[in-house]
Chain A
Amino acid sequence: MKAFVEEFKEQARVITRDLRHRGLIQTALRKYEVARDRRKGAFGNWQMARQAAAEIKYEAINHLDTYLAEFADKLMDRGTQVHWATTPAQAREIILGIIKSKNAKSIIKSKAMTAEEIHLNDAMEKAGYEVVESDLGEFIVQLRREPPYHIVFPAMHLTRDDISALFEKELGSAPTREPEELTMIARRALRKKYITADVGITGANFAIAETGMISITENEGNARLTAALPKTMITLVGIEKVLPKLEDLALFLPMLATAGAGQTLTGYNTMYGGPRQKGEIDGPEEFHVVLLDNRRTELLADPEQRDALHCIRCGACLNVCPIFKNVGGHTYGTTYSGPIGSVITPHLRGLQDWKHLSNASSLCGACTETCPVKIDLHHHLLQNRRNASEQEPSALERFAYKGFAFLINRPGLYQFAKEMGRLLEPLHKMVKGSKLDPARSWTSTRDLPSMPSQSFKEWWRNR
């Protein structure tokens, strides 16, 4: 139980003092901010566009049963096999089943956070399959055997030198300081994989109910290749990704690009409505869509926080969050980090285990303000705190407040406590922050305000 919060605290303690990490993140995010603001300026009205996006997601999520059924039926009409999974284990089983039935050996994968959520790569590797991540950032973190650092920029915490050393070790390439050369090393390594892979696995950014299509947003073209060359294509998608109409993308594609990476539009926005159809030249013979619940329906059942399912995973809230900027992506220990991760992880993985993430917030509201679909993020953090303490009240806190109430209601006693405080203050200074200090969790990193020599009451009397 304690493990997650202790791990978070320990890692946060280390990384907040890591100046190299801080420099990397700040440089990267400053570039993002400049680009994003420039793109936002091109909108007719960014705030109205946010409201429009929030309203469309509201419609989709609050009629999810209808739209999801429509999405699945339309897909099946054109020969796609649709699978439904309540748990991560079911989703893994479905996907492994498909791979097995195809006698596949190698699998090419394009970026999918839902796959991270269900630890799909682990499961496939354990079953003896070769899985290669094709997104450059994901490819890098896969070689390092670590999870993505950020939902949009997976390798943001690494320098070109780190990556060069990694490629030298894992791929036997010559060291270089040129990002272009490094990219070409990965390109060459992955080209062969696309051509020989039997199965391609992708995620999806949107699921279009009206036409039965998934929509994938990417810059590199790796998802396009993954959906073009292997004979079997599998797409894993969370049930909340639904949009009612195809033309809703005219709003959501530029919003995602602008909020996510400061682009007008991401390099490739591609909609897939089925496997290769009659008369078409190429494409997979089989197309499987796996719909994943994984406790999203529990979040749906909380009307107060239902709008967290509007999330389009653009990562904008991470990029503006002062906590994320200080502790970094890996410290969270979750698939989804930053404000949105702090809000939804308690729903997906247990409130008591993950409530500390809602406390690790200054409640500044930058996340809410930047969210392109207007999720009320910082209030949801507060609600998580409230729900956690209602469910499991802290005995210590209760005792402290009772004591405070007792004290404050007795002026004589309060007066006495104040005098004692003044008397003991010099003594406290001697043990401040040490193990003897009862207030050390506060004072080890902060100064305690010193007691005033005169209270208001005394000043009033002597005035």
Chain B
Amino acid sequence: MITEREKILRRIREALTLSAPFPGEHGHGLGNKAHGTPAPIQSAKPWLPAGGETVESQIEKFRLASTDLNSDFQLAASEEEAHHILAETAEREGWKKVATHRGGLCDAAVPKLNLPVMPTDDGYDVLEMEACDAGITECDALVAQTGSVLITNTSAGGRALSILPPHHVVLARLDQLVGDLTDAFALLKTKYHSRYPSMISFVTGPSRTGDIERILVLGAHGPKKLTIICY
């Protein structure tokens, strides 16, 4: 018996026996051919929004993008200062309980808060996580071009930790900052050697919607606040 897969693939092969005009070379329009066929584009990187060449310019891009996105980006000069910023945030927001995962940056910072902590690493209760005031995670990279945080379910304590609690806090090192999305995908490739985690996400600002009269509202379903503490 022929499977549905085989049937669909056969129809595709049949359909493709006739070739279609290359983009920009449709039959209409006089003299299109006169200019010759341009060479196919190898990389789109130069045509995209710039990510910045130096660390300074990347930090600046990331800061600008964060302002635009209503993300709270905090650049600390030292680990102590980063921990201090986290503690201040906890106090200002009145956190009573936080969820987090194991990892170098989290392990060093979260215990200092002196708050009840829910770790996700060995399984967790969804309702308990939902009741936490913040989810504190690490990340794979920060992307200057777009102000995004690149996370995976292995780097950020699973799929839910960074989306369910109302405040997502990211702890990152400055050397995790990359220029643009192209760099971020290259980093993923070298880091995971094609054995990618089952979820990869570019988080760009807190959760948002414009579905009511195109007016921006933060915290549609995911976190209302996104804080990025980098040192």
Contacts and interface: CB of A to CB of B under 8 A. Distances in A.
B partners with A = yes
B74 interface: no
A268 B203 contact: yes
Nearest to A181: B217
Contacts of B44: 48-49, 52-53, 250-251
A46 interface: yes
A224 B14 CA distance: 38
A182 B222 CA distance: 16
Question: Could you say which of B41, B124, B220 has the most chain A C-beta atoms within 10 Å of its C-beta?
Answer: B220
A264 B146 contact: yes
The 10 A-B pairs with the shortest beta carbon distances in the complex, nearest first, are A221-B222, A281-B158, A54-B23, A220-B220, A301-B15, A228-B159, A137-B211, A250-B181, A52-B44, A300-B15
B46 A85 contact: no
B8 to A, nearest CB: 5
B185 A43 contact: no
Contacts of A221: 163, 207, 220-223
B12 A68 contact: yes
Contact of A267 (B14, B205, B214): B205
A455 interface: no
Interface in A20-49: 24, 27-28, 31-32, 39, 42-46, 48-49
A62 B120 CA distance: 45
Contacts of B163: 221, 224-225, 228, 268
B72 interface: no
- Decide if the interface of chain B is mainly helix, strand, loop or mixed: loop
Contacts of A46: 47
27 contacts: A27-B214, A48-B47, A51-B23, A51-B24, A55-B41, A65-B9, A84-B8, A136-B212, A140-B211, A191-B221, A220-B220, A225-B164, A227-B199, A246-B189, A247-B185, A254-B49, A264-B68, A265-B148, A268-B201, A271-B196, A277-B197, A277-B198, A280-B154, A281-B159, A298-B15, A301-B15, A374-B24
A228 B164 contact: yes
B31 interface: no
A438 interface: no
A190 B209 CA distance: 15
A244 interface: no
A266 interface: yes
Contact of B185 (A63, A140, A222, A246): A246
A190 B221 CA distance: 8
Interface residues of B, number: 88
A283 B12 contact: no
Interface string B66-110: 001000000000000000000000000000000001000000000
Contact of B202 (A45, A134, A211, A269): A269
Contacts of A276: 198
Contacts of A243: none
B29 to A, nearest CB: 9
Interface in B144-193: 145-148, 153-154, 157-160, 163-164, 180-182, 184-186, 188-189
Interface in A282-328: 282-283, 291, 293, 297-298, 300-301, 303-304, 306-307
A272 B202 CA distance: 12
B204 interface: yes
Question: Could you say which of A53, A265, A301 has the most chain B C-beta atoms within 10 Å of its C-beta?
Answer: A265
B210 interface: yes
Interface in A224-266: 224-225, 227-229, 239, 246-247, 249-251, 253-254, 261, 264-266
B137 to A, nearest CB: 12
A256 to B, nearest CB: 12
Contacts of A39: 49
Interface in B115-164: 120-121, 123-124, 126-127, 130, 145-148, 153-154, 157-160, 163-164
Nearest to B4: A84
B54 interface: no
B194 interface: yes
A250 B204 contact: no
A267 B207 contact: yes
